[in-house]
Amino acid sequence: MIIEYFENIVKIMSEYWYTFLVAGVGKTLLLTAITVSCGAVLGVIICLGRMSRVRAFNALALGFGELIRGTPMLLQLYIAYFFLPKLLPFNISEFARIAMAYIVNSACYVSEVFRSGIQAVDAGQSEAARSLGLTSWQTFMHVVLPQAIKNILPALGNEFVTITKDTSLASTFFIGEVMTSCLIVRGKTYLTMESLIIVAIIYFCLTWVMNRFVGKMERRLQTGD
């Protein structure tokens, strides 16, 4: 049985390596990179809203974050996929709709990570920077934020890995990532278990490399201290 599985896996990879390793992995990494980069920027904005002394901004950021974190990712993907084209005055691709849903979801979680990291920075750092003549914005960008990033790097790395795995939900809409590749190959070969094993190996390799990279960056930052 094991030998048969192995032979089928080799056969699938020899025939569909492009579908899995080029198209699937490429689309997965692209979706992950867009989500994490744009989600981090939006997350900082939501974080600043949560920490704002203006009640309207604070309430808006809090309510939006609670709404997104309190609903399933798959539900948000469905809403983005079916309702965004009706709300926007221009055409938007299927991939862009899914990416926007991932970005918003990631931003709401990242915002809390940033907030905890910023609050962990000693308040004396900000006071010292302000006494030297730095504005509030300069203090935040050059003193508080760099230290906060060091504090939250492990959590951000975990978010990167989590998003990579969560891209599998996008296979519901067949946008071409790794799990979609599995569904395509399974439909052509009728080898379900073998296709799933290949996908599991691919996701494991991707997340393993990401974890090693994040660990290396974390050690480098600690050395820099």
pTM: 0.87
Whether the CB-CB separation of 189 and 12 falls below 8 Å is answered with: yes
The closest of 69, 95, 73, 104 to 166, measured between CA atoms, is 73
What integer pLDDT is reported at residue 138 of this predicted model? 80
CATH code of the domain in which 42 resides: 1.10.3720.10
* Token output for 217: 């960056």
DSSP code string of 128-191: HHHHTT--HHHHIIIIIHHHHHHHHHHHHHHHHHHHHHHGGGGGGGT-SSHHHHHHHHHHHH--
What integer pLDDT is reported at residue 222 of this predicted model? 67
Give the C-alpha separation, 150 to 147, whole Å.
5
What integer pLDDT is reported at residue 39 of this predicted model? 92
Give the C-alpha separation, 18 to 31, whole Å.
18
What integer pLDDT is reported at residue 81 of this predicted model? 92
If one counts the domains in the chain, the total is 1
Question: What phi and psi values does residue 115 have, to the nearest 5 degrees?
Answer: -60, -45
What integer pLDDT is reported at residue 224 of this predicted model? 56
What integer pLDDT is reported at residue 4 of this predicted model? 81
Residues 6 or more apart whose Cβ sits within 8 Å of residue 217 = 153, 157
Per-residue pLDDT of the chain (225 residues; tens, 9 = 90+): 678 877 888 888 888 888 888 888 999 999 999 999 999 899 989 998 988 888 888 999 999 999 999 999 999 999 999 998 888 888 889 999 999 999 999 999 999 888 888 888 877 777 777 787 778 778 877 788 778 877 788 788 888 888 999 999 999 998 888 999 988 898 888 888 999 999 999 999 999 998 888 888 777 766 655
Domain span at 122: 2-224
Burial track 75-90 (b if 16+ CB lie within 10 A, e otherwise): ebbeebbeeeeeeeee
What integer pLDDT is reported at residue 55 of this predicted model? 87
Question: What phi and psi values does residue 216 have, to the nearest 5 degrees?
Answer: -65, -45
Q: 3-class SS at 88?
A: coil
What integer pLDDT is reported at residue 19 of this predicted model? 82
